[in-house]
Amino acid sequence: MTRTSTTRTFAASSMAAVCLTFGTAFIAAPTAEATSPRVEPCISNTGISLQQYFDVSSALVTPICDKVKAGAPWSTPLNFYVARSWELIPAGYVPTTASPLDELKAHLTKVVFIIDEGTPQEFTVERSGQQLHWLVADWQELYPDDPDWLLADVGTHITIRPLPPGTHTIRGEFTMDSVACDGVTDSWDASCIPTGTFEYPSTRTFTVVPRD
């Protein structure tokens, strides 16, 4: 199931109402907020620094921000949107926490990133349990015309070591130990992530370029 609009692209099979893939809303552009000459800033089309939004100093790899300078530590978003409260709950679902955000945090137990998959240079980066660092921000800061949701990111704070110049890939997986719904709708298919391990984000290809 996929929902699209002019400003964003949602994807992840039946988890469309939960998972966010950054799409055309973001472009790479110079900014005075760069934390290091090695870090190429990622700026939204409304002028928001995604490094500032996610509170990170690493380079960011997204479908639009697809270049990283050699020597720069980097990371990639793995994020979700959730309602602030349990106003909408699918029939038969019984939340175990006080909010959809707490539900997601309670049941997402592991994140794995696979870098340069299928090559001799392949390696993985894994975080689980208390190693997971959640960033929570206002969704409307990025999409002011949308409902007053929260964005919850668990990817950008997983900093990955610098890579040599050339073309690289990253793919993500996350694991749920129980069903978690986002409170956005009362539809199971549109609102809930089942138990299991899921691919998200799908493979992102990016280029490491020599430093100036």
pLDDT in tens, 21-54: 443 333 333 333 445 667 888 987 778 889 999 9
Q: What is the pTM of this model?
A: 0.83
Q: Percentage helix, strand, coil, to 5, in the chain?
A: 10, 35, 55
Q: What is the pLDDT of residue 41?
A: 87
Domain containing residue 162: 3-209
Cβ(152)–Cβ(79) below 8 Å: yes
Number of domains into which the chain is organized: 1
Helical ranges in the chain per DSSP H: 50-54, 100-107, 188-191
Predicted local confidence at residue 25, as pLDDT: 38
Distance, CA of 212 to CA of 181 (rounded, Å): 46
Q: What is the pLDDT of residue 35?
A: 52
Outline where DSSP puts E strands in 71-211.
74-75, 79-82, 108-115, 123-128, 135-138, 150-153, 166-176, 180-181, 192-193, 196-199, 204-209
4 DSSP β-pair partners: 9
Spans of the chain below 50 pLDDT: 1-34
Question: Would you call 173 helix, strand, or coil by DSSP?
Answer: strand
